Amino acid sequence: MGRHAGRRARRASPARVLSAILGMVVAAGAWLYLVSAAITFGVLARSGTGAAWWLTGLAGTGAAACLLVALILAARLLRELGVLGTGPRARGGGRRASR
Amino acid sequence: MSRPDRRRRVLRAAYVTLAAVDAALAGSADPRRHRLRVLTKPALLPLLALGGTATPAEGGPESRAHTRGALAAAQTASWVGDVALLAPGDRALLRGMSAFGTAHAAYASRLVRAARPGATRALAPVAAALAVQAVGAGVAARRRSPRLGVPTTAYGLALSTTAVTALAADGPPRARLLLRSGALAFLVSDAILAVREHVWRESPPALEAAVMVTYTGAQLLLAEGFVRLDA
């Protein structure tokens, strides 16, 4: 019975889907905000304010981190909705991999 | 030649020299030489950014400020990506793609403003072809590791946005030529990188040198195109 249940396709949990969507929207919004902040700090940096380069760097790094979170959540959401399967296992061994 | 111009030329020459050294190290089969890249690769973008600061300013003040800011933000995010990609593995690749995705957002934010009227419709087939390519890269990445599929497609779409907006950009002929060449070089660089990472894992080190030559060339061409955009 346990084996049978394991084979059955997992149903998408509404709570997980909702939290992934919410997290994705927040992360994407933060990404856009931080890209725009990096550009604003970049204007200051280019006009000779040396410290603004650090702020541009911080905003750029923060934006990259937010985009990473948004992409991870997007992948999780698509998996949860069944659009993406679990996919092939990471490579390692087998005829195909050794070719 | 004015002093800022001379300084800019010196910094550009230093960037080209460092890029050549880094590409040679990347193409070396000797792991010790490869490790030296922790010194060369992170120095590339700061050198390029320093060269841009000395550029004489032209054009409207608001547009000029945005051009400079977008370029600074794109170069800073690219630097984060360069550092992230020094490490091997999927996590480093994910971090690198996020950083370069951010850089493309900064590049595209300025290029969109410079778009020729009607260019978007004319470039729709190019955009569609690049989008298909991005999905293809995502599928190839997913074969290597399931968690790389979506981020690779998203990164491919960000890169395509930069490429299409660079093709659509209006401005002085020289700026347009530089921007288009830069975007094309970026596409070529990332295509080779995708092949190395997801299709041909046992590729020769020379291919990594090709990635670096096209990538550093792309950053230089985009930087030169940006500073001429408001002329």
Contacts of B64 in chain A (CB under 8 A): none
Query: From the CA of A57, how many Å to the nearest CA of chain B?
Result: 6
Interface residue of A24, A39, A53, A77 to substitute, partner B, most B CBs within 10 Å? A39
Contact A47 B72 (CB under 8 A): no
pLDDT at residue A1, as a whole number: 46
CB-CB: which of A39, A60, A86 is closest to B109?
A39
One-letter identity of residue B201: R
Note whether B186 and B198 are within 8 A (CB): no
Query: From the CA of A50, how many Å to the nearest CA of chain B?
Result: 11
Contact B81 A64 (CB under 8 A): yes
Interface residue of B85, B150, B161, B229 to substitute, partner A, most A CBs within 10 Å? B150
pLDDT at residue B53, as a whole number: 52
Please report the residues numbered 20 through 39 in chain A whose beta carbons come closer than 8 angstroms to any beta carbon of chain B. Answer: 31-32, 34-36, 38-39
Closest CA to B159 of B220, B96, B209: B96
Residue A12 clears pLDDT 50, i.e. is over it: yes
pLDDT in tens, A35-90: 999 999 999 998 888 789 999 999 999 999 999 999 999 999 988 888 777 655 55
pLDDT (tens, 9 = 90+) of chain B, 231 residues, equals 677 778 888 999 999 999 999 999 999 988 889 899 999 999 999 999 988 754 444 456 677 888 999 999 999 999 999 999 999 889 999 999 999 999 999 999 999 999 988 887 888 999 999 999 999 999 999 988 888 999 999 999 999 999 999 999 998 999 999 999 999 999 999 999 999 988 888 888 899 999 999 999 999 999 999 989 887
As a whole number of angstroms, the distance between CA B24 and CA B22 comes to: 5
State phi, psi for B156 to the nearest 5 degrees.
-60, -40
Task: Return the number of other C-beta atoms located less than 10 Å from residue B174's C-beta.
Answer: 13
CB-CB: which of B68, B77, B95 is closest to A46?
B68
As a whole number of angstroms, the distance between CA B125 and CA B184 comes to: 16
Contacts of B97 in chain A (CB under 8 A): 71
Contacts of B106 in chain A (CB under 8 A): 35, 38-39, 42
Query: From the CA of B159, how many Å to the nearest CA of chain A?
Result: 14
Query: From the CA of A7, how many Å to the nearest CA of chain B?
Result: 20
The nearest alpha carbon in chain A to B153 belongs to A71
What is the CA B3 to chain-centroid distance, rounded? 28
pTM score: 0.88
DSSP line for B15-69: HHHHHHHHHHHHT-S-HHHHHTHHHHHHHHHHHHHHHHHTPPP-S-HHHHHHHHH
One-letter identity of residue A4: H
pLDDT at residue B231, as a whole number: 72
Structure tokens at A23: 């997290």
Closest CA to B116 of B170, B171, B165: B170
Max distance between CA atoms of chain B, in angstroms, equals: 55
Contacts of A78 in chain B (CB under 8 A): 150
One-letter identity of residue B215: Y
Q: Mark out the alpha helices in A1-99 (DSSP H runs).
A: 2-7, 14-46, 51-80, 94-98
Query: From the CA of B145, how many Å to the nearest CA of chain A?
Result: 5
pLDDT at residue A9, as a whole number: 56
